[in-house]
Structure 1
Amino acid sequence: MAEFDYDLFVIGAGSGGVRAARVSAAHGARVAIAEEFRVGGTCVIRGCVPKKLLVYGAHFAEDLKDARRFGWNVPDCDFDWATLRDNVLSEVDRLNGAYTTTLESHKVEIIHQRATVAGANAVRLADGRTVTARIILVATGARPAVPGCPGHELGITSNEVFHLDALPKRVLIAGAGYIANEFAGIFNEFGSKVTLINRTDVILRGYDAAIRDRLLQISTAKGIEFRFHAEFRGITKGDDGSLTVEMTNHDPITVDRVLFATGRVPNTEGLGLEGAGVELDDKGAVKVDADSRSSCPSIYAVGDVTNRIQLTPVAIREGQAFADTMFGDKPWRVDYDNVPSAVFSHPPMAGVGLTESQARQQLGSVKVYQSDFRAMKNVLANRNERALYKMVCDGVTDRVVGLHMIGPDAPEILQAAAIAVKAGLTKADFDQTVALHPSMAEELVLMR
């Protein structure tokens, strides 16, 4: 191992790369990690963490109104975007420092510059140096996709949205996945007029149809406009700074901001991977095996840069498995079955396991149980917004193969329930559990 400068060189200090570097170093490996932007990656710096803080801030719009029904003499309140933005960015700075400190405390060398692959065991740094490593781990993540229409440079992505100088009065969001729906809810609660456009008529593809239909219904009732079968023709900027968007099948619309949320692209361009014999798929993602090894035996990859599940907890688990397997003499593999996920929309969605459609295709015989109710808080607040919980079971064995929810605190409730699905429990196991009353979560054991 001494023939190399490092035992492990990690390219990219996001969630997966940081975990792999830290744990590998704890196992005794000589580790370096290169990051050209900031330590922490997409999730911490410009993704799920600052976005969730915006979601918390957006919830106050409804909470302050509801508080009056609960006896609080809340005056009409103004919202100051700059205060929330700056506080969120300060928290990002804190987390960036915390991640950096964690790496340094584990004796991981942090190289603050771009690194590319120069061979099976070589990495070239932006300053011109070349270093060697027995193993190279690519953890460069992904970036927002931007449509190639005329004027696309006038739009922004989720990378820039956290740094806006002012809150747009009118915003158009392109896309219908989790990022698009989350920011649609955020901006709508802050008082912006939100229009979401999508090239098909399906939002949140891959989630259970009944749950996503409920979100569409509630979002429309909240004032979010949806334009389906709409593809960009172009964006032009007016003298007053406004943006006019032309699209197929709909009239043009003039807004103050255009936010692209049309998917994410693996960051593999210009990394030199092909020259080292690393095979990529048709979307540019690194093809890896169950141990995160690429087609080049000394190069591995974890996280969003691979052709697997693009979720931060998955990347962290992949980084842990890689480190334990390669340097800890504790080999194990990530299990990708029943990975829970959430959409922090207004209200939030969460799901784990098979949707009803997937279960019918895979199992044939399926039993579905639902609870469609209004949360107690919404009742007293005079808020006509209904939650929907859905349980999908194997029709033969009674095993719960999917749980899907939309309603207040759905992600918090689903995390514990996902353990039951992962463990293979049955509908009878849920039925035999005493309800925790009064709560929304009790609906999980009361469905008939």
Structure 2
Amino acid sequence: MNNIVIGSGPAGRLASLQLGKLGENVTLIEKNHIAGTCLNEGCMVICALTDITKFIDTNNRFNNHGFVKSQLDISYDKIVSKIVETQEKLRKLNQMENESVGNDVVYGEASIEENTVKVNNESFEYDNLLIATGARPFIPNVKGSEYGLTNKDILKLDEVPEKLNIIGGGVIACEIANIYSTLGSEVNVIARSKFLKELGANAKEYVLENILQDINIYEDTNLKEIFKNKVMTDNDEELEGTPFFATGRVPNSEIAEGFVELNPDKTIKVNEMMQTSVENVYAAGDVTGGYLLTPVARMEGITAARNMANYPNKVSYSCIPQTLSLNMEVSFVENERNECEDTATIGIPGIAGPGSFWNILPGDTGYTEVEFDKANNKIKRINSISPSSPSDVAYLSYLMREGYDLDDYDDFLEVHPSTDSNYKIIKNMWL
């Protein structure tokens, strides 16, 4: 059977790989660069820059301890050039990986017709089609919005902005604020409602006081007008600095409009098998909305691929772990299925787990808060701030998803020091 996948981001790329491994005939079509937003404009760029800011933060900490004496000279344009160089290598590897399972990779802008996809004036017939065209930055309807930068522009900057106005209050806004504040920008974050609504109150307080302490936060604030080097708020306050939009994403669903059913927000409507309203057409990743996360897009792409290859399966969105990539990681997960009102919350300071030893002297080891269902003895929610929180929360989210209760965690045996945080959370809190 002929399978066509449009879009090579995490959803499309992993779907193509899965189909190829299952012996299916696959054509992967990509408009720009293979690996999509994640590698080329999104999380990989953020992670690369955050690696630099973590190094700066660690260097400053060691200087403060007095056993290192160094002054860093940071070259932003060199950082950008090395990120681009790395991206080029990864694109080649990603293409080779897809081609290694027999897939064809075609570059060009696609259009869809019934049972046919056209690209570069060539027509490709399909038995199954997967639309994985991703999403792009949302630009609010504010006068002067054309002056605002987005994540697409990070690698186009020649230097670190002296002053930066980040418009938005979510994960992307927070990560961008952390990066450029550490690199030397004077940063304002302007949120139309609350900043970091994803976190619990105590975790948010820790982030603001210990990680983003040099950033000015404006909550419940709208913009009246945007200029090239400043913004004006709805109460006529002028804030100097380059405007940067981190206001969410909109789906690249125009390719499917009039062909499959869309949701009111223009995302492609799919069922739990990632099928659209057209029987042999599937969609996955950011173009379908929901959790705009690389691991979720991969999961959706693989689910779609298996169904396309006639291996029926369904996607599940319970207990999705998430992380803020900051100088100290902030991770969180919630069990949406657990609606019990009889809960208890335990908060503990960070401990000397992996990456935390030299944070102990200033008392900067993080904070973990766990809410659990007392009646059923199960974890309901976790907010964890520590260098190891991404792996800790990913592991714990799996246990939550599988329905383990707290007594089952007694069998956990840590590898010192890499999973000491898990030991503290799992064993010492309830035993």
Taking structure 2 as the reference length, what is the TM-score of the superposition?
0.92
Give, in whole Å, the separation in 1 of the partners of 2:46 and 2:416.
Answer: 32
Q: Aligned match of 2:375 in 396, 413, 428?
A: 396
Structure 1 CA distance, aligned partners of 2:219 and 2:267?
A: 29
| 1:265 matched to 2:250 | yes
Name the residue aligned to 1:122.
Answer: 116
**How many angstroms does 1:85 deviate by?**
1.4
Q: Report if aligned partners of 1:400, 1:424 keep a CA contact under 8 Å in 2.
A: no
- Name the SS for the 1:213 alignment partner: helix
Residue 109 of structure 1, CA deviation: 1.7
* Corresponding letter in the other structure for 1:17: G
Letter in 1 for 2:54: H
Matched with 1:298 is 280
> Residue 341 of structure 2: which of 364, 369, 373 is its match?
364
**Secondary structure of 1:204's partner?**
coil
Is 1:274 matched with 2:260?
no
- Residue 69 of structure 1: CA displacement? 5.3
Partners of 1:169 and 1:374 lie apart in 2 by 36
1:87 aligns with 2:82: yes
Q: 1:276-332 CA deviation, whole Å, 9 max, x = no partner?
A: 2x11112110000111100111211011100332111111122222222321x4322
CA change 1:427–1:25 in 2 (3 A) is: closer
In 2, are the aligned partners of 1:10 and 1:32 still within 8 Å (CA)? yes
SS at the partner of 1:265? strand
Secondary structure in 1 matching 2:261: coil
The amino acid of 1:410's aligned partner reads S
Contact 1:45 1:96 in 2 (8 A): no
CA–CA separation in structure 1 for the residues paired with 2:394 and 2:335: 16
Residue 197 of structure 1 corresponds to 190
Query: Aligned partners of 2:236 and 2:368: how far apart in 1?
Result: 34
Distance 2:208 2:68 in 1: 32
Q: Which amino acid aligns with 1:389?
A: T
Gaps of 5+ in 2: none
- Matched residues in 1 for 2:261 and 2:43: separation? 29
Q: Aligned runs of 1:403-442 on 2, under 5 Å?
A: 403-430=382-409, 433=412, 439-442=420-423
1:144-293 maps to which residues of 2 (within 5 A)? Answer: 144-200=137-193, 202-220=194-212, 222-237=213-228, 243-249=229-235, 251-255=237-241, 257-269=242-254, 271=255, 273-276=256-259, 278-293=260-275
The answer on 1:353 being equivalent to 2:346 is no
Q: Give deviations 1:188-214, integer Å, cap 9, x for gaps.
A: 1111111100101x2223333332332
CA contact (8 A) 2:53 2:183 kept: yes
Determine if contact 1:211/1:404 at 8 Å carries over to the other structure.
Answer: yes
Partner of 1:98: helix, strand, or coil?
Answer: helix
RMSD: 2.2
Q: Which residue of 2 aligns with 1:140?
A: 133
1:260 deviates by 0.5
State the percentage of identical aligned residues: 26
1:240 corresponds in structure 2 to none
TM-score by length of 1: 0.88
**2:324 partner letter:** V
Moved more, 55-64 or 332-341: 332-341
- Conserved in 2, the CA contact under 8 Å of 1:363 and 1:394? yes
Alpha-carbon distance, 1:107 to partner: 2.2
Cα offset, 1:92, TM superposition: 1.0
Q: Distance in 1 between matches of 2:199 and 2:130?
A: 32
Q: Deviations over 1:376-413 (max 9, x none)?
A: 6355553x435221222112111122222112231132
CA drift of 1:43 comes to: 0.7
Q: Structure 1's 371 and 27: CA in aligned 2 closer, same or farther, altered over 3 A?
A: same
- Rounded to whole Å, the distance in 1 between the matches of 2:304 and 2:345 is 38
Residue range with higher mean Cα deviation, 346-355 or 42-51: 346-355
Q: 1:378 to 1:250 in 2, by over 3 A?
A: farther
Please give the alpha-carbon distance, in whole angstroms, between the structure 2 residues aligned to 1:71 and 1:440: 27
Structure 1 gaps, min length 5: 2-6, 238-242
Tell me whether 1:310 sits opposite 2:292 in the alignment: yes
**Is 1:340 the counterpart of 2:321 in the alignment?**
yes
Letter in 2 for 1:122: T
Cα separation, 2, equivalents of 1:346 and 1:62: 7
Q: Which residue of 2 aligns with 1:4?
A: none
Compared CA separation, residues 425 and 206, structure 1 to 2 (3 A):
same
* Distance in 2, Cα, partners of 1:45 & 1:109: 21
Distance in 1, Cα, partners of 2:6 & 2:415: 47
**1:44 aligns with one of 39, 46, 52:** 39
Cα deviation per residue 1:170-224 (whole Å; 9 max; x = unaligned)? Answer: 1111111111101111111111111100101x2223333332332233345x210
Distance 1:38 1:406 in 2: 34
SS in 2 for 1:159: helix
Q: Using a 3 Å threshold, how does the CA distance of structure 1 residues 298 and 434 change in structure 2: closer, same or farther?
A: closer
- Could you say if the C-alpha distance between residues 171 and 435 of structure 1 is closer, same or farther in structure 2, counting changes exceeding 3 Å? same
Aligned length: 424
CA distance in 2, matches of 1:160, 1:264: 15
- Post-superposition offset of 1:76: 1.8
1:156 match: secondary structure: coil
What is the aligned counterpart of 2:52 among 47, 53, 57? 57
Which position in structure 2 is the counterpart of 1:26?
A: 21
Displaced runs of 4 or more, over 6 A: 434-438
Cα distance in 2 for partners of 1:379, 1:16 equals 38
Task: Select the residue among 374, 377, 387 that pairs with 2:357.
Answer: 377
* Compared CA separation, residues 440 and 70, structure 1 to 2 (3 A): farther
| SS in structure 1 of the partner of residue 258 of structure 2 | helix
Query: Aligned partner of 1:179: which letter?
Result: I
The CA distance in 2 between the partners of 1:101 and 1:394, in whole Å, is 47
